[in-house]
Amino acid sequence: MSEFDAATAVHRVAEGRYRADLDPGFAFGGVINGGYLMALLTKAAHDASPFPHPISTATTFLRAGRGGPAEITVETLRAGRSVATLRLAVVQEGRTLLDATMTTGTLTAGAAAGWAGAAPAMPALDECSTPARRPGGDSFADRVELRFDTSTLGWLDGRPIGRPEMRGWFRLPGHEPDAAVLALAVDALPPVVLNLGVKGWAPTVELTWHMRGVPAPGWLAMHAGGRLFSDGWFDEEVEIWDSAGRLVAQSRQIARAGRG
Amino acid sequence: MSEFDAATAVHRVAEGRYRADLDPGFAFGGVINGGYLMALLTKAAHDASPFPHPISTATTFLRAGRGGPAEITVETLRAGRSVATLRLAVVQEGRTLLDATMTTGTLTAGAAAGWAGAAPAMPALDECSTPARRPGGDSFADRVELRFDTSTLGWLDGRPIGRPEMRGWFRLPGHEPDAAVLALAVDALPPVVLNLGVKGWAPTVELTWHMRGVPAPGWLAMHAGGRLFSDGWFDEEVEIWDSAGRLVAQSRQIARAGRG
């Protein structure tokens, strides 16, 4: 079992109830990463649903999670012949951290697209930069492999590029991409508004992501953009492309920023 | 009261319960339009929430609705100082048509954007085409004013343009745009896959939309696109721009198509 599978393991304790242990290694400043929580949802759904793939997951983040025990609840809203709809929640110390509605189905590995948009441009892996890791570190950056498109790293040197963009390559050590990895990946990049010079915490309020294909082994390309930052709210769209050049996941989140 | 307000009126019958009468004039082939149902959600939320605007609404469509009585249920998941999160459902004859999670808040009319993407190109209103209306007709096309960008109408003549695009102008007779109109507008265009030559019903499985600004009076510009049609699933993104040139709503839906 990979480190990631161990960190996102869920244990069925009753019909529609799963126990998990939120891994503080997937936190920023003590707050558990939203993508990690969404990865837990895919694990619970994989057990609870008759269909393997989380085609659509709409997640509302209600409260910040911390490392430690949590419970995942799953209720089937409707089970059809080819799709099932579940409502899920992650609860910690009696408080709901997030509430999600998921539609599961079956995607065909290697399906040929009827139509596909062009993949956004991305520099080759060896032209991208690796964030510094601390020896023996135990944070999000130590659990995943991220290589950034340096043209979107201006914010890091106090020179935000003036556009809500962020790009990078992503993989997990010893774990090929699957639905749980895609759930993690769609929320793994720093907020795009860092490149608008917006500082401080940018809490996600809602994130909907769609699994669009069964990912091929290898690195994932992550492209994040946005359309509007206004009135303290911004949207962020992420596309995940696999090593075979297929769009395998897409997300949009709405988040708050600029409130000091 | 405008025709639209009458058709989307909700009546509070108890704490968190509203009665509505689904108007068959907002149906296609007997199936009530999803945007109309989402408009009803905004009406119920406007009564139930302490905040006026549906910042984020994630809707899962479970069953087709028909004209006639229905009930809308609203449960508050969390009410904070500046946002509240609601869970809503539309129920007809004991069956849940849709399940939604909504975050409400307060948008500032005329807010200046911190950053905004460019509006997509759109032909002027008088260069767009008006769909034929039947005298005395009582369908969706008779309830709204739609003018299509003719460069995206190839599908209508059996010459799909080969790209998942659809554009048009939209307004409601005698009713300036508000949250309910935006909810209707994000699902008012024909499915983009018609322009890929895909025929038949294209049922929406999930649609998340965000209200991004308080719309100015006048026509709304609607731009629909998509990124992938594969394995029987397609995504459709819609942006709604107001007459002042502001992005006031954005949506993404995932839908099924090509199943005959």
Mean pLDDT of chain B: 95
- Asked if A66 reaches chain B (Cβ–Cβ under 8 Å), the answer is no
A18, amino acid identity:
Y
CA distance B230 to chain A (A): 4
Region for A71 from its dihedrals, namely left if φ exceeds 0, alpha if ψ lies in -120 to 50, beta otherwise: beta
First to last CA, chain B: 41
A112 belongs to a structural domain: no
- Report the residue count for chain A: 260
- Residue B113 belongs to some domain of the structure: no
Query: pLDDT (tens digit, 9 = 90+) per residue, B128-149?
Result: 988 766 666 677 878 899 999 9
Predicted confidence at residue A259, as pLDDT, reads 61
What is the pLDDT, as a whole number, of residue B140?
A: 80
Contact: A101, B247; criterion CB under 8 Å: no
Is there a domain that residue A116 lies in?
A: no
Winning range, highest mean pLDDT, from A134-138, A144-148, A238-242, B131-135: A238-242
Within a domain: A111: no
This model's pTM is above 0.95: yes
Structural domains counted in chain B: 1
Tell me, what CATH number does B232's domain have?
2.40.160.210
Q: Is residue B25 part of a domain?
A: yes
Determine the Cα–Cα distance for residues B235 and B253; give it in Å rounded to an integer. Answer: 6
ipTM: 0.96
Do A62 and B55 lie within an 8 Å CB cutoff?
no
Mean pLDDT of A46-67: 97
Question: Which range among A4-13, A134-143, B200-209, B224-233 shows the weakest confidence by mean pLDDT?
Answer: A134-143
Q: Which two tokens stand for residue A195?
A: 């490149």
Domain extent for A32? 3-106+123-256
Tokens of A81: 């012949």
- Determine how β-strand B17-22 pairs with β-strand B27-28: unpaired
Q: Is residue A117 part of a domain?
A: no
CA distance to partner chain B, nearest, from residue A183 (Å): 17
pLDDT digits (tens, 9 = 90+) for A204-216: 999 999 999 999 9
Q: Best of B90, B103, B227, B236 to disrupt the A interface by mutation (most A CBs within 10 Å)?
A: B227
User: H/E element holding B148?
Assistant: strand B145-148
Q: List pLDDT tens digits, range B16-60.
A: 999 999 999 999 888 999 999 999 999 999 999 999 999 999 999
- Strands A228-230 and A233-241, how do they pair? antiparallel
Q: Is residue B50 part of a domain?
A: yes
% of chain B exceeding 90 in pLDDT: 88
Q: Report whether pLDDT(A143) > 90.
A: no
Q: Is residue A68 part of a domain?
A: yes
Q: What are phi and psi of B193, to 5 degrees?
A: -70, -10
Q: How close, in Å, is residue A174 to chain B by CA atoms?
A: 29
